Amino acid sequence: MKKVVIVGGGFGGLNAAKNLVNTDFDVTIIDKTNHHVFQPLLYQVATAALSPGDISAPIRTIFSGSKNIKVIMDEVIDINKDEKIVILPDMKISYDYLIIAAGARHSYFGNDSWEPFAPGLKTLSDALIIREKILRALEEAEKLNPADYQKYLNFVVVGGGPTGVEMAGAIAEIVKRSWLRDFKNISASKTKVYLIEAADRILLPYPPQLSLKAQKQLESLGVSVLLNTKVTAVNQDGVFVGNEFIESKNVIWAAGNAASPLLKKLNTELDRAGRAIVNTDLSIPGSTEIFIIGDAAAFKDENGNYLPGVAPVAIQQGKFVADLLKNNASGKKTFKYRDKGILATIGRAKAIAFIKGLKLTGFLAWLAWTFIHIMVLIGFRNRVRVMTEWAWYYITFRHGIRLIVDKNSAKYY
């Protein structure tokens, strides 16, 4: 049996493995965690709308009935292309084919010192850190006089992409309509949410008309959208935008991504975001047995545009590479992305969607977003739990997951 090593249990790696189940390949999945996370809903864990178990599943459980798939929870620290070996801290694993789906982390564009004050949102740990950061800010505000608590009620989201937009909308809606009901000393009218975007509009991948609709929906929730605005510094007290300072204990970073540093071990060409520039079959030049997929791959479509780092791209690329291996067709086929549409939610019954040229806004777009996310979630149990939570919130405007477990319960990595 030929050995396939998959690095990363995200959307790309998971779908590559799923399509190699019960084949003649010996497949090993290596991931730093023991679970797959449905990343598009991480912001709902961060805003206490869902619990971590609602949007994740153990990778071992997913493949428990697959005899040819094994899972290792560890970190790949090096790759020897000549000997076809991936190197872990305490072991080495040989491969005939290597699929790297290592994903990406948030990037501070060379300002890594901002990270402790402005956490990003890529993992469950990140989501729990942000959740506790917000909850603790409210608890601190409850103890202070109105003249002193404004910095705890200012929420700043940096980055106007889908994650930033969804996060800003969720905070504006949940904090004002749901959470503050339980606090006696805090006025909801004092809550301020800022969305900062360096470009001239939010949601750049969407048509300008939909970007404007999304901005208006955010503003209807009380979000101040600051366009053509760059963050120049972040510290423990807030953010500098130009010469102005926004005082805040709640800064969330959603402004950029950087690919896994593991790609540097391949000695192949990378783009400015650290992604590997791949061939048309997603392999890297000079190594037809190594494939890069998902957020780690820099791949241009037929129009010469780089594909975005979104789940549908990773899913399709994972399936494509698995089919290549099963058909022994490396180098003979070209990956073609089938764009099924893009969606973003802003709040309760507020969303935008661009599907096959069709532009949707408001309730219809929100229904489409809800249906698609429920269907893509892994496991019947997850779907039922998430659907129940959403229905409960839609009726009552109340979320039930607002626990601060322990001061050291979520460390930042």
**Which sign, positive or negative, has the C-alpha torsion 328, 87, 124, 154?**
negative
Nearest to 109 by CA among 253, 225, 251, 226: 253
Q: Catalytic pick from 115, 142, 166, 197?
A: 166
Among the residues of 341-379, which ranges form H helices? 362-376
Contacts 24+ apart (CB under 8 A), 341-346: 342/162, 342/205, 342/206, 342/310, 343/368, 343/369, 343/372, 344/162, 344/165, 344/166, 344/203, 344/206, 344/214, 344/369, 345/166, 345/169, 345/369, 346/165, 346/166, 346/169, 346/214, 346/217, 346/218, 346/221
- Cα-to-chain-centroid distance, residue 22: 30
Helix (H, G, I), strand (E, B) or coil at 224: strand
250, two tokens: 């709640």
In eight-state DSSP terms, residue 275 is P
Bridge partners of 402?
Answer: none
349: alpha, beta or left? (left if phi > 0; alpha if psi -120 to 50): left
Please give the angle made by the CA atoms of 134, 136 and 137, to the nearest 5 degrees: 65
Question: Cα(171)–Cα(268) distance, rounded to whole angstroms?
Answer: 41
Contact 413, 120 (CB under 8 A): no
Query: Judging by DSSP bridges, how do beta strands 35-37 and 56-58 pair with one another?
Result: antiparallel
Contact 294, 8 (CB under 8 A): yes
12, two tokens: 């790309």
Contact 261, 78 (CB under 8 A): no
In eight-state DSSP terms, residue 378 is S
Contacts of 255 (CB under 8 A, 6+ apart): 106, 107, 108, 109, 158, 159, 161, 164, 198, 231
Q: Distances in Å between the alpha carbon of 368 and those of 15, 203, 210, 349, 374?
A: 23, 18, 15, 10, 10
Residue 166 known to be catalytic: yes
Contact 51, 45 (CB under 8 A): yes
Residues serving a catalytic function are 166
